[in-house]
Amino acid sequence: MPQKKHTPSVEQAKVAAFILESELSASVTVFDGETGVKLVAALNEPILEDVDIVASAGLKRPRICANGNQGWQAVLPLRFGPMTLVAVARVKRLAPEGPVADEEQRRLEKWCGLLVEKLTASHERGNEATAREREAGSVIAAMDVLLRTGRLTGDRAVFQRHVLKAICSVLGVRAATWIPMDPSASVVTRGIANLSNWDWRQVVASLVPRISDDRLGLLIDNVVPRGLLANRLPDLRNIMVMRVQEEGAAGYLIAFDRVARAEKGRSDLDAPLDFRRGDAALMAPFATLLGAQARASSRHDEMKELVVGLTRSLTSAIDAKDPYTFGHSERVARIAVELAREMGLGAEAQSDIYLVGLLHDIGKIGVRDSVLGKNGPLTDEERDHINQHPRIGYRILLGIGAIKHLLGGVLYHHEQFNGAGYPDGLAGEKIPQIARIIAVADSFDAMRSDRPYRPGMPLGRVESILSGGSGTQWDPEVIDAYERCKQKVSEIREQGVGESLRLALDGAMRHAPHIDQSISFSAHRVPV
* Confidence at residue 69, expressed as pLDDT on a 0 to 100 scale: 62
Identify the top-confidence range among 170-174, 327-331, 441-445.
441-445
Q: Is the pLDDT of residue 448 over 80?
A: yes
* Confidence at residue 267, expressed as pLDDT on a 0 to 100 scale: 41
pLDDT (average), residues 259-288: 66
Identify the top-confidence range among 34-48, 282-296, 475-489.
475-489
Q: What is the DSSP letter of 238?
A: -
pLDDT tens, residue by residue, 477-518: 999 999 999 888 888 754 544 444 444 445 554 444 433 332
**335 and 360 in contact (C-beta within 8 Å)?**
no
User: Which is it for the CA torsion 57, 59, 60, 62, positive or negative?
Assistant: negative
pLDDT tens, residue by residue, 297-317: 666 666 666 666 666 666 666
Q: Which residue has the higher pLDDT, 264 or 146?
A: 146
Q: Is the pLDDT of residue 523 over 60?
A: no
Q: Is the pLDDT of residue 213 over 60?
A: yes
Q: Work out the burial of residue 104: count CB atoms within 10 Å of its CB; fewer than 13 is exposed, 13-18 middle, 19 or more buried.
A: middle
Q: What is the DSSP letter of 37?
A: -
**403 and 311 in contact (C-beta within 8 Å)?**
no
Residue 198's alpha-carbon distances to 38, 89, 186, in angstroms, are: 66, 68, 10
* Confidence at residue 477, expressed as pLDDT on a 0 to 100 scale: 97
Distance CA 348, CA 473 (A): 27
Q: Which residue has the higher pLDDT, 43 or 285?
A: 285
Q: Tell me the average pLDDT of the chain.
A: 77
Residues 6+ apart with CB under 8 A from 435: 356, 408, 409, 411, 412, 413, 415, 528
**126 and 117 in contact (C-beta within 8 Å)?**
no
Angle at 140 between CA 137 and CA 144, to 5 degrees: 140
Least confident window among 124-128, 345-349, 371-375, 446-450 = 124-128
Residues 6+ apart with CB under 8 A from 266: 260
Residue 276, Cα to own-chain centre: how many angstroms? Answer: 25
Amino acid at 151: R
Pick from 81, 80, 75, 85: nearest CA to 13? 85
The answer to whether the bond into 390 is cis (omega within 30° of 0) is no
Reported pTM: 0.47
H-run or E-run covering 479: helix 476-491
Residues 6+ apart with CB under 8 A from 35: 1, 4, 54
Give the CA diameter of the chain: 131
* Confidence at residue 320, expressed as pLDDT on a 0 to 100 scale: 64
In the chain, what are the domains? 10-127 (3.30.450), 150-296 (3.30.450.40), 322-510 (1.10.3210.10)
Helix/strand/coil for 246: strand
Residues 6+ apart with CB under 8 A from 491: none
* Confidence at residue 49, expressed as pLDDT on a 0 to 100 scale: 61
* Confidence at residue 6, expressed as pLDDT on a 0 to 100 scale: 47
Q: Is the pLDDT of residue 68 over 90?
A: no
Amino acid at 210: R
- Give the number of other CB atoms < 10 A from CB of residue 348: 12
Distance CA 336, CA 355 (A): 10
Distance CA 93, CA 467 (A): 109
**437 and 479 in contact (C-beta within 8 Å)?**
no
Amino acid at 38: K
* Confidence at residue 151, expressed as pLDDT on a 0 to 100 scale: 57
H-run or E-run covering 339: helix 328-342
Q: Is the pLDDT of residue 226 over 50?
A: yes
Q: Give Rg (Cα) of the chain.
A: 39
Q: For residue 141, name the pLDDT band (cuts at 50, 70, 90).
A: low
Q: Which residue has the higher pLDDT, 139 or 318?
A: 318
pLDDT (average), residues 66-94: 82
The answer to whether the bond into 423 is cis (omega within 30° of 0) is yes
Q: Work out the burial of residue 217: count CB atoms within 10 Å of its CB; fewer than 13 is exposed, 13-18 middle, 19 or more buried.
A: middle
